Homo-oligomer: A and B are copies of this chain.
Amino acid sequence: MDKKAVTIKDIARMLNISKSTVSRALSGRSDIHPETKTKILDLASQLQYEPNTLAINLKQQRTNTIGVLIPETTNRFFSRAVGGIQKVADMAGMNIMICQSNESYIAEKNNLHSLVSSRVDGLLVSLSRESDRSDHFKPVIDKGIPIVFFDRICEDINASQVFTDNYQIAMEGTEHLISQGCKRIAMMAGQQHLFTSRNRLMGYLDALKKHNIPILQSYIIHTQYASNKVEEYARYIINLPQRPDAVFALNDYTAIEMMHILKKHGLKIPEDIALLGFNNENMCRFVEPSLSSIDHPAQDMGAAAAEILINHIRHPDLKPENRLIKSKLLIRESTLKIREGI
């Protein structure tokens, strides 16, 4: 049964007409006799004809596809972002092609070439954790392929960007902790070449300065690539000479695991140590105490990025556009030292 796929030419031959006519019928153009058209359409559906997208795309010089280059889909932030992208792309009648860098610079570079070779019409990119340079994107942009970076963006390049107010929200989160009486706030800072991590750290630092709280380098934990070191970080925090009374975690997963470990060591949350996460995963509501977090609007960011990209694909000489998506601080039990009504 492994016959070759049926083509437009097969249909033409069987009907004794030219392939031009078949093409006309199949692509729904008007200059064709209704009768011929139905005859062609009938035979096509009977033969289970599927147009060869490769040929069409080659001829049209466009693929109706947007390439999505993200660190990994197992990360819920990105899988949700993809959801937002998908929705917008569907509405615009475009397909998406997803590549995962697995947080590796080399994989990111390879995937980029692969996507360009596949002639995607545009790119949606969130940098890998390893990518501390971005020269690999320049030639792509020079070729006229529009790129929109989102979340893990790339400042030193002339392309559209969608990001959250990392600085603001980190400041807000830190000030919230301060307002709860915390004075020794530990900060888990991610890779400092990442736009997001850098701004969060700055927000944290500026909040401390603003409230005249001394900045201790030992409170700033520069986390490594490997993220299954929470146990180690927890031990470090517990054993600090001046034990922190709050931890601003990298993300909710880290925060929740940290919470678990701290509790095992007999520490009370938030009384002994307050905990603030990042991303507002579903689970935040279900742990005990419930975890305060920062709502990172993944879907909205994906959708916004996709919108901007599609706009740029359709209007190639648009200027790059930057869009800020607001995050929101969600206060739950894990940071509420001062409970009203007590």
Q: A residues engaging B (CB < 8 A)? A: 1-5, 48, 50-55, 57-58, 61, 63, 72-74, 76, 79-80, 82-83, 86, 95, 97-98, 100, 113-114, 116-119, 139, 142-144, 253, 256-257, 259-260, 282-283, 285-288, 316
Contact = CB atoms under 8 A, between A and B. Distances in A.
B117 A51 contact: yes
Contact of A256 (B119, B143, B286): B286
B86 A80 contact: no
The residue in A1, A52, A53, A95 that gathers the most chain B C-beta atoms within 10 A of its C-beta is A53
A278 to B, nearest CB: 16
A160 to B, nearest CB: 16
Assembly of this chain: how many copies?
Answer: 2
A133 to B, nearest CB: 17
A155 to B, nearest CB: 21
A240 B116 CA distance: 59
B117 A53 contact: yes
Nearest to A2: B144
Contact of A74 (B51, B58, B80, B283): B80
A86 B100 contact: yes
A57 B56 CA distance: 12
B285 A260 contact: yes
Contacts of A5: 119, 143
A298 to B, nearest CB: 10
A43 to B, nearest CB: 15
Contact of A50 (B117, B144, B282): B117
